Structure 1
Amino acid sequence: MLRLTLPRVLVALVAVLLLTYAFAVAPRTADPLGGGVGSDVAATSRPSASPPPPPPAAEPEVFPPAGKVFIGVTTHEGAYDFDAVDEFTRAAKHQPQVMLFSADWASGRFDRSLFDRVADRGMMPMLAWEPWDYRIDEKAREQGLPLRQIDEIRSDQPDYRLARIAAGDLDDYLLSWADGIGSLGYPVAIRFGHEMNGDWYPWSEATNGNRPGDYVRAWRHLHDLFRTAGATNVTWVWSPNVQWDDSTTPLKSLYPGDAYVDWLGLSGYYGTGYFSDYRNFDEIFGDTIGELRTFTERPLVITETAAADDNGRKVEWIRETFRLLPRHRDIIGVIWFEVDKELDWRIVSSPASASAFAQAVAAPRYDLRWSPEMVPRSRIGD
């Protein structure tokens, strides 16, 4: 049997201490870059650091934001000359957020600069795209013909029959626009064939040899052609005239469907035709809005409106209109027809009209901006 003596005990204790240092202390004190004792163990036993997760992508802003209503403008010269827009802006003391301008299919060719000029001024471009030869209308007006005779002349343009559009006969021309608009990189609204429920344009089903159902077929063909071409930055605006009596075409029969329409539009004026006598905004627009709501809940834009002053009540109409508008939560925009045509619809027609308009649009609900990064609203409640 091994005898325990003091020297043996001391040797054993020293051995234990050396082993403890080698396996426990040295790995933690060795230089990790110098290859000291235990450095390999330490390097392999540390957990690897994971990179922080990327921040969630910000949701794009909706235009217009909830609770806001944009103010737009259209002028005679459109995107070719902004003098009238600047005059309107000064009179209104308000920067419009949308500009509506038109192009016909006979003389209009895609021109990127027109859209860029509008967007560079902080306005979303809205194209009133009209399948006709506008020069026929201009020539008839220059002859001083009665308005109804002008309507009859300009609405007879068989080259632009709706059936030809739907059949693809004009696709080469349409694709040139689809490719151009799709390349813009920011949202554009297209208001194709407006006021189709009247009888004064060649794209009405009541004129130009068109038949019931042709308008919807032409609209859907145009929409699908743009989609196939990759022009997915288009907000499609379906825009009838306000209904004026029981003889007008039911709007539902002209509606392409929610899958083909993003915004509803309406044209309506105080001071002309059926609405020559004083009628407030609700009396002009109310019944038609009610009809629309029987078959669609898309957001609504008043794409053309204004008041004449033949009865001396233009200022009153402007003030009353903007008092009534907040009752219509489905209306997301109002575009003023700043044109002196047949009657002077402009707010700059008098200091009183300009002042009434400026006071109205100074309300917080019209205080907003448009930018190319924003996404056009597609539902009322967004």
Structure 2
Amino acid sequence: MRGIIRAQALVLVGASLVSCSAPQPSAAPVCVVATDLVPDAGILSGVSLDWERETLEQYATKLGRRPAVVVYSTAFPLIQDNARNLDAAFEQIKANGGTMLLTLEPHDGLESVTKEHAEKLGERLVGYNNGGVPVIVRFGQEMNGSWFRWGQKPAQYVDAFRTVAEAVHRLAPGSDMMWAPNYGGGYPFSDGQHGVQEGPPQSAALDTDGDGSVTAADDPYAPYYPGDDATDWVGMSLYHWGETYQSGTNVVPEDGKFIRQLTGSYAGTGGDELAVPDFYEEYGSARNKPVAIPETAALSIPSRGGDDELAIKQAWWRQLFDPAIPRDYPSVKMVNWFEWEKLEVELDVKADVDWTAVQGQAVRDAYVADLPSWFKGAQEPKPCTPPAS
């Protein structure tokens, strides 16, 4: 999400923090985790959970089903407290079933991402995999934005991503790597504190049309792509921010907005964004990569007037649930709802935004009623048994 660093400092289990060491690869019993994390049919339905508000079990009880994917975000490299909280998240996901989408945020700078730290991560993920939890690593999300320290540094970012990918692929075959920029409308997002610095070599790498400056005419994705060999999944943060980004208006999204933004064909009340490339085709279909929407939701600000919360959110999730998507865009394999209420300081007038789908009874009932059968939840977890020799 734009402009927000999410430090998930606590994982609550009941009323206490679980403290545990990383599950060890040699620990028995060992679960057999599939190395192909992409579903043959349908779309994995997941959640980006506010772990400080509720446990995964509490969320699943409200929803009435187990989410197939659960997002957990942490600073990287891992320090002791972050590692302990990550282990606690693993325990909750293990009990839930499904996949962990592990978002790694290099807040200390891309130069802090070393081979040693990447290998320690890979060793930890083996323990999670052997404990029955597949993991998809989303490293340095929204790197094409200007709101994170790792943003708009393409060469450094690609090197760091590839360092992590090499270790994960070599050490943890039950884990995948995801590359996930922000939707390119509004690029180069010049209002952020970590925007591109004019002059070579950084601006030269981002000046894809060669006109001497970085503008909306430049490709918001290509300079940051780490390569087909390092990337298993491609993803995009894609939200309905209201009438226009930063306006903070409670307004029902236009019909077809979601898929038009994903495919680079959007021109509407939010502006003419036809210069944005077709992300789905260029990075999903053409490269034979599964496409994820690791974060999505629709803006609703309770303190402001405008359209009704349910009308806004339902109009957005019905675009996500459109049966034309699995038929016409079969590479889309994951969609995760951003289940947070939080202050958005980047709006023209900062405000508390309710992005949630299951916290209020009326919205939750409508969301659950609209969930299609092909939007897959997690199967009930099975006891771990030693793998066949």
Q: Which consecutive aligned stretches of 4+ in structure 1 deviate over 6 angstroms post-superposition?
A: none
Q: Tell me the TM-score normalized by structure 2.
A: 0.62
- Whether the aligned pair in 2 keeps the contact of 1:319 and 1:356 (CA below 8 Å) is no
For residues 156-201 of structure 1, what are the alpha-carbon distances to aligned partners after superposition, in whole Å with 9 as ceiling and x for unaligned?
Answer: xxx41x2453xx3xx4433332221123314211111000110000
CA distance in 2, matches of 1:294, 1:347: 31
Name the CA shift for 1:123/1:353 in 2 (closer, same or farther; >3 Å).
Answer: same
**Corresponding residue for 2:29?**
none
Name the CA shift for 1:175/1:372 in 2 (closer, same or farther; >3 Å).
Answer: farther
Is residue 192 from structure 1 mapped to residue 139 from structure 2 by the alignment? yes
**Corresponding residue for 1:245?**
186
CA distance in 2, matches of 1:127, 1:60: 17
CA distance in 2, matches of 1:197, 1:244: 11
For residues 274-317 of structure 1, what are the alpha-carbon distances to aligned partners after superposition, in whole Å with 9 as ceiling and x for unaligned?
Answer: 28553432244331672352253300111000112343222222
CA distance in 2, matches of 1:338, 1:289: 28
Higher helix proportion, which one? Answer: 1
| From 5, 23, 42, the counterpart of 1:68 | 42
Is residue 97 from structure 1 mapped to residue 68 from structure 2 by the alignment? yes
Paired AA for residue 174 in structure 1: A
Deviation (angstroms), 1:62: 5.4
Paired AA for residue 175 in structure 1: E
- Whether the aligned pair in 1 keeps the contact of 2:69 and 2:378 (CA below 8 Å) is no
Paired AA for residue 123 in structure 2: D
| From 262, 266, 269, the counterpart of 2:239 | 269
**Corresponding residue for 2:229?**
259
**Structure 2 gap ranges (5+):** 1-32, 188-215, 265-275, 302-306, 344-352, 383-389
CA distance in 2, matches of 1:221, 1:251: 20
Paired AA for residue 76 in structure 1: D
CA distance in 1, matches of 2:239, 2:88: 31
Name the CA shift for 1:61/1:356 in 2 (closer, same or farther; >3 Å).
Answer: farther
**Corresponding residue for 2:356?**
346
Name the CA shift for 1:64/1:227 in 2 (closer, same or farther; >3 Å).
Answer: closer
| Range with greater deviation from structure 2 (258-267 or 248-257) | 248-257
> What are the within-5 Å matches in structure 2 for residues 125-204 of structure 1?
125-132=100-107, 159-160=108-109, 162-165=110-113, 168=114, 171-184=115-128, 185=130, 186=132, 187-204=134-151
**Corresponding residue for 1:291?**
279
| From 154, 158, 163, the counterpart of 1:221 | 163
CA distance in 1, matches of 2:277, 2:380: 29
> What are the within-5 Å matches in structure 2 for residues 8-157 of structure 1?
63-77=37-51, 82-83=54-55, 85-105=56-76, 107=79, 108-109=82-83, 111-132=86-107
**Corresponding residue for 2:258?**
281
Name the CA shift for 1:76/1:367 in 2 (closer, same or farther; >3 Å).
Answer: closer
CA distance in 1, matches of 2:359, 2:277: 29
Structure whose CA Rg is larger = 1
- Whether the aligned pair in 2 keeps the contact of 1:128 and 1:191 (CA below 8 Å) is yes
CA distance in 2, matches of 1:122, 1:333: 16
Paired AA for residue 304 in structure 1: E
Paired AA for residue 97 in structure 2: G
- Whether the aligned pair in 2 keeps the contact of 1:68 and 1:368 (CA below 8 Å) is no
Identical-pair percentage? 24
**Corresponding residue for 2:22?**
none
Number of corresponding residues: 275
| Range with greater deviation from structure 2 (285-294 or 91-100) | 285-294
The secondary structure found in structure 2 opposite 1:204 is coil
The secondary structure found in structure 2 opposite 1:77 is coil
Deviation (angstroms), 1:319: 2.5
Name the CA shift for 1:265/1:91 in 2 (closer, same or farther; >3 Å).
Answer: same
CA distance in 1, matches of 2:160, 2:111: 7
CA distance in 2, matches of 1:91, 1:112: 24
Q: Tell me the TM-score normalized by structure 1.
A: 0.64
- Whether the aligned pair in 1 keeps the contact of 2:49 and 2:72 (CA below 8 Å) is yes
| Range with greater deviation from structure 2 (85-94 or 338-347) | 85-94
- Whether the aligned pair in 2 keeps the contact of 1:251 and 1:292 (CA below 8 Å) is no
The secondary structure found in structure 2 opposite 1:259 is coil
